[in-house]
Structure 1
Amino acid sequence: MSLNIAHTLVETAKDIRDRVGLVEAVTGKSLTFNELNRRSDAFAHILKNRGVESGERVMLMVKPSADFICLTFALFKIGAPVILIDPGMGYVNLLRCIEGVRPKGFIGIPKALFFKTLFRKPFNTVKYTFCCGFSLGLFGPDIAKLADQDYPEFPVFEPEVDDLAAIIFTTGSTGPPKGVRYEHSIFQAQLGLIRDYYGIGPGDVDQPAFPLFALFSTALGAQAVIPDMDPTRPAKVDSAVFTASIEKYKVSYSFGSPALWNVVASSCEDRDKRLKTLKKVLMAGAPVSGALIEAMQDVLPEDAVIHTPYGATESLPIASIEGTEVVRETWDLTRRGQGTCVGRSLPGIEIAIIPISDMAISKLERQTFLPSGKIGEIIVQGNVVTSSYENNDRENKLAKISDGNSFWHRMGDVGYLDGSGRLWFCGRRAHRVVCRKYNKTFYSIPCEAFFNSHPDVFRSALVAIPLSSGADCIPAIIVELEKESAIDTQQLIHELREIGKNNPLTLEIDTYLIHPDFPVDIRHNAKIFREKLSLWATSQLEGQI
C-alpha cells in the first residue's frame, strides 16, 4: 500500500469518478473526484515543468478553496513537502517561521506575493514563485488558469516511511510557533483513523472548518464542502451562512473548534433550527464542555454522534470520547474540579503519565509511570505521533523521550488516567501555578471549572502573579463576562471569592480580576493565552503585591 495519500485520491477517482468530490460554498463551484484528481495532475505538471522536484519544500499561501486542495495533492504527487503556516500568527512570527523552513518554492495569492516582495530576506531561498489568482500580470501568469488546460496523468511519488510530506506550524499558544515535520506515513495513519474509527468514507459529506481536513475527506471518497468562513476566526463565523451550506449540501459530518460550535448551537437554538442531515460532529482544539455538547445535541438528529478528539499538531488524534459519555458520566466530575475527560487512547496509540518536569528527559524510565488517579505529565507514542520539529534542536530535546528504538512525545499537557483507562486533561504544563508559599500546585482546568459555573462568567483563566521579591508567585483568577452580563463588578468579585473559598483546590486564591476580551489562539479561537493574561494582571496589580 502506498504511503502517499495522493495515491488514495487517484484510486478513489477511479472508483467514483463522476461523483461530486468538492464544493466551494462561496462560489458554488463543484468538482467531481475525477476533476479533482485531474486538476491536481495539471498543477503537478505545471510545477514540475518549472523545476519543482521531489524533496524541494514549497510554501503554500492560498485561501481555502478547491485549488488549495488540488495544489496540496499536486505537491504530494511530486513529493515536494508543502509548508503550511497560519497567516494570522502575526508578521513577526510568520517571517521567522518562513526563514526557518527555507522554502525552495512559493505558491500564493497576489496578496501573499506582495508580502513576499516587501520582506525579501526570509524568502531568499525561494527559486520558483507561482501566483494563484489574477494579478494584472504583476506576479506572472495565474497558475489556476494554466491548470484549466488538459494534462496527462501524473505519476505519483512513492515515498519511504521517513520521507517528508509537510511542515505544519503549531498555534504558538505556549511560546513561538514551531514547525512540525509530517512524514507521509503520519498522514496515512491519520487517514486510517478517520476512516476506521470515525467511519468516514463514500456517502459522507464533510464540511471542515479547518481546510486541510478536506484532504482526508476527498481521499476517502467523501464529498468536502469548503465553508464560507474565515478559518482563522471560527468564533466569528456567520452561523446562518455556515448552517445554510450544511442544509444545502446535506452535510453529514463536520469538524470544528468549540468556539465555532458555541456560535452554531446558540444561533440554531435562537432560530429553532435542527440540522437534520448532520450525523457526526467532531469538536477539538480546546476543552469541550458538557453544556456545549448538550446544546449541540438539541440541534442535531437524535441518532447523531458527537466526538471530542484530543491531540495536538504534533500528534492528532490520540484519544477520543463520545458526547453521550461526557454528559452521562464525566461532565459532573469536570464541574467538580476533576479535569476534562478526553477519552480512551485510539487504536495504535499508547498514553502514559510521568512526573511533571520542565527539563529535558533523555531516556524513558517506565518505573516512573504514575498510577491511575495521579496527576502528571501526559506522554504518548504511536503511528500518528510526529518525530521532530523542523530546525529546532532545543524543542526536540524538550519534547521527545528516547525509549530504545522508539520515542515518546511529551504533549506539554498535564492530566491523569482513571481506573477505566480514560485520560483526563488538567491543563497545559506551562499553565500550572507552583506556589511555594502554600506548598501547592494549582492546575488550570480543575481550578477554572468552579468559576466557569457562575452564570455571569463566559470563561476564566488561572494565572501566576509574580511577587515583587521574584522568589515566588501567587495564583489569580481572571474572568471574561458573558456579553449580556450586567452584574456589578464588586458583587461579582465577592461571589467569585466565595466560590474559591468553598473548594479545597482554590481555597488559597484571593486575587480576582475581570478582563474585557481574552486573547486566544488564531486556529481555534479557544485556547487562552494565559501568559499574556498573567502579564496584564501583573501590570494591573503593580505596587499592590
Structure 2
Amino acid sequence: MCQSDFIDNYNIASYLPISAKKYPFKKAIIEPLAKDSNGLVTYIHYTFKQLEERCSKIAYGFDSYGIKKGHKVLLMVTPSLDFLALTYALYRVGAIPILIDPGMGKSNLLDCIESVKPDAMVAIPKAHLVKFLFPAKFKSIKCSVIVGKNYFFKGKTLEQICDHTNNDTYPVAQVNKDDMATMVFTTGSTGTPKGVVYFHEQMRGQVDSIKKEFSITPDDVDFPVFPLFALFSTAWGITAVIPEMDPTKPSKADPVKIIAGIKDHGVTISIGSPALWETVSKYAQNHQIKLNSLKQILMVGAPVRPEVLKSIQGMLDLKKGHDAYTPYGATESLPVANISATEILKETSNLTAEGKGTCIGRAFPNMQIEIIEISDEVIENIKLLDANMIGEIVVKGTVVTKEYFNRPDATKLAKIKDKDSLWHRMGDVGYKDKQGRLWFCGRKAHRVETKTQRLFSVCTEAIFNQHKSVYRSALVGVNNQAIMIVQLKLENQVSQTTIKKELFEIALKYDHTKDIKTILFHEDFPVDIRHNAKIFREKLSVWAEAQIK
C-alpha cells in the first residue's frame, strides 16, 4: 500500500498491512501460555506477517458468513492473539466493533446490547450463554461466531468460518474519515452507560497524537494493560505483550507475573490502570526489583497519588530519563493532556496536598483546552474563565468524538457547537494555571453544594488524605451537608476515634474544609471495573445517608 492510498483510506485497519510489509518477521503480539518444567513461562506469538495473514483469513470468513461493511458487531472476547486479529478483521471488512465492558453489571450490559441492536456477535462461549439465557436482548443478531468450543449455541465457530482455501489478501474496506469505526461504552460511573461513537478520523488521531507525545519508535515493546490499547501497538508497528492477568481486575493482578512479562520481553512502554502499577511498585520496592527496560509507564483512569508515583519511579531508571506519566482523557476524548511524575513531584504535589487540585499537565498536540462556567444545562455559547478560576473543562481537537449512539439528548448536553467544530464537555471541573497547565478538581457531578459553599471532591479529599493512616477518602453530599468518608490503610493500628479527632484538626486549617462536621469510615470503597481506580461516590452517598440516619 502506497502512502497516497493510506491517506485516501481512513480505515484504521490500513495500519496492519503497512506494519506487515515493513516488519514481516517481527513479533506483533505475544501471549503467555504456560510454565515449563523449569518454572519458566512459555509464550506463543504472531509475527506481523502471521497477524496480517490471520486477519485476512478471518475477514474472508466474516464476509462469506454475512458480516459486511456497516454491520454493528458485538465483540466479546478475552485478551489473546486472536483478539487483535478479530478486531482488525472487523475493521478490514468495514464492520463496526461494539465494545461493552461486562463489569458494568448484568442489567446495564443487557440494556446496552439491546439499545445498539447489533447485526452480529463474535464472542467467547460464556457470552453466548448470556445470549441463550436472555434472547430478547439479542434478537437483532443474525450472525453468531463462537470463539472457542460450540456447546449448543446457534452459529458457527471461528475455525468453521475460517475453514476456506482463499489465501489471498482481503482488501481493506474503503472508508471516509466520518464513517463510524467502533463504539465503546462508558463505564457509567456517573450515570447510565452511553455508547461513544468513534469515527475513523478520531482513531487515526489517537494513533498519531500518542505516538508523537511519547516519541514511540519501532524498537519499543508495549505492555497494554487495557486490551484495546494493543490496537495502537499494531498501528505503531511495535510488539505488544499481553499481560498475564484479568483485565477487569487490575488491582488484583499478580505482580510476579506482571514483572516476569516485562523482563522476559524487554518491555519499554505500558498503558494501563494506576491500580495495577501501585500493586506492582509496592512489590518491586519490597523486593528491590528494577525494571530497567521500562522507559514509560502511562497511567489512565484516575488521579494518581504522589506517594504512588514516587514508588513507581523507584522501579525505573530515572538517570536515563525513564518516567511515569498520567495522561488525562475520557472515553469521549482520549488523550487530552499529559504530565510526568517528575514534574508532579517537583512542582505540583505540594499544592495538591493543600487542596489546589491535581495537575494533569498540558494539552496533547492538536488539542485545545478551555475552562467555562459550570452548568448542568445545555450550553449554546461558551464563556471562558480566566486563569486560576475553577470551572467546567471543555476540549476540542482531532480525537474528540461527535456523538453518543442513539442518545441525541445526551449528545446535545455534552457537545457545544463552535462554527465547524465541537467542544466536548468532559464532565470534570478544574482550572488552568498561568503556565497553561490544566488542574483537575473532580467530576462535575461530584461537587457538593452546602448552604455556605461549593466543594470539589479532589480539592477536599486531598486535605483528609494528608493523614498518614488514610488510604483514600471520598466527599459526598447528603441533604446539602458535606460528609467525608475515609478508607484507612490496611496496616493502620490507630483507633478510629483518634484518627477522626486528628482529621478534624487538619480540616480546621483550611477554609474549604473547616466546616465539615461528619466523618465516616468505610472498609473498602466501591470502584470502577475498568481501572479499579475511580471511586463510585454515588454508591457511597447512599451508604452515608443510611449511616447518618
TM-score (norm 1): 0.96
- Tell me, which stretches of 5 or more residues in structure 1 are unaligned? 467-472
Give the Cα–Cα distance (whole angstroms) in 1 for the partners of residues 271 and 131 of structure 2.
32
- Tell me, which stretches of 5 or more residues in structure 2 are unaligned? 1-6, 35-42
State the secondary structure of the residue aligned to 2:227: coil
1:459-498 equivalences under 5 Å are 459-466=472-479, 473-498=480-505
Is the contact between residue 39 and residue 148 of structure 1 (CA under 8 Å) also seen in structure 2? no
Give 1:244's match in structure 2, choosing from 250, 260, 273: 260
Give the Cα–Cα distance (whole angstroms) in 2 for the partners of residues 292 and 490 of structure 1.
27
Is the contact between residue 17 and residue 32 of structure 1 (CA under 8 Å) also seen in structure 2? yes
Match of 2:458 in 1: 445
Match of 1:522 in 2: 529
Q: Per-residue displacement from partner, 1:198-252 (whole Å, max 9, x unpaired)?
A: 1223111101110000011012111001111111111111111111110011111
State the secondary structure of the residue aligned to 2:25: coil
User: Which letter maps to 1:525?
Assistant: N
Superposed displacement of residue 135, structure 1: 2.7
State the secondary structure of the residue aligned to 1:319: strand
Match of 1:257 in 2: 273
Q: Per-residue displacement from partner, 1:456-512 (whole Å, max 9, x unpaired)?
A: 11100000011xxxxxx1101001111111221111111111111111120110100
Matched, 1:407 2:422: yes
Is the contact between residue 198 and residue 401 of structure 2 (CA under 8 Å) also seen in structure 1? yes
User: Which letter maps to 1:364?
Assistant: N
Match of 1:359 in 2: 377
Give the Cα–Cα distance (whole angstroms) in 2 for the partners of residues 515 and 23 of structure 1.
41
Is the contact between residue 15 and residue 234 of structure 2 (CA under 8 Å) also seen in structure 1? no
Superposed displacement of residue 58, structure 1: 0.3
User: Which letter maps to 1:258?
Assistant: P
Give the Cα–Cα distance (whole angstroms) in 1 for the partners of residues 174 and 156 of structure 2.
30
Match of 1:337 in 2: 355
User: Which letter maps to 1:508?
Assistant: D
Match of 2:233 in 1: 217
Give the Cα–Cα distance (whole angstroms) in 1 for the partners of residues 431 and 53 of structure 2.
48
Superposed displacement of residue 136, structure 1: 4.2
Match of 2:412 in 1: 397
Superposed displacement of residue 124, structure 1: 0.8
Query: 311-320 or 450-459: which moved more?
Result: 450-459
Match of 2:133 in 1: 118
Superposed displacement of residue 23, structure 1: 0.2
Give the Cα–Cα distance (whole angstroms) in 2 for the partners of residues 121 and 164 of structure 1.
26
User: Which letter maps to 1:16?
Assistant: Y
Match of 1:387 in 2: 402
Give the Cα–Cα distance (whole angstroms) in 2 for the partners of residues 298 and 177 of structure 1.
37
Give 2:74's match in structure 1, choosing from 52, 59, 63: 59
Give the Cα–Cα distance (whole angstroms) in 2 for the partners of residues 191 and 118 of structure 1.
38
User: Which letter maps to 1:295?
Assistant: S
Change (3 A) 1:255 1:148: farther
Give the Cα–Cα distance (whole angstroms) in 2 for the partners of residues 147 and 221 of structure 1.
25
1:6-21 equivalences under 5 Å are 6-21=13-28
State the secondary structure of the residue aligned to 1:188: helix
User: Which letter maps to 1:459?
Assistant: R
Q: Which runs of 4+ in 1 moved over 3 A?
A: 136-141, 144-150
Is the contact between residue 360 and residue 397 of structure 1 (CA under 8 Å) also seen in structure 2? yes
Match of 1:295 in 2: 311
Is the contact between residue 67 and residue 144 of structure 1 (CA under 8 Å) also seen in structure 2? no
Superposed displacement of residue 194, structure 1: 1.9
Is the contact between residue 62 and residue 108 of structure 1 (CA under 8 Å) also seen in structure 2? yes
State the secondary structure of the residue aligned to 2:95: coil
User: Which letter maps to 1:475?
Assistant: A
Match of 2:544 in 1: 537
Q: Per-residue displacement from partner, 1:401-438 (whole Å, max 9, x unpaired)?
A: 11122111000000000001000000000000011x21
User: Which letter maps to 1:291?
Assistant: E
Query: What count of residue pairs does the alignment treat as equivalent?
Result: 531
State the secondary structure of the residue aligned to 1:12: helix
Matched, 1:168 2:184: yes
1:508-519 equivalences under 5 Å are 508-519=515-526
TM-score (norm 2): 0.95
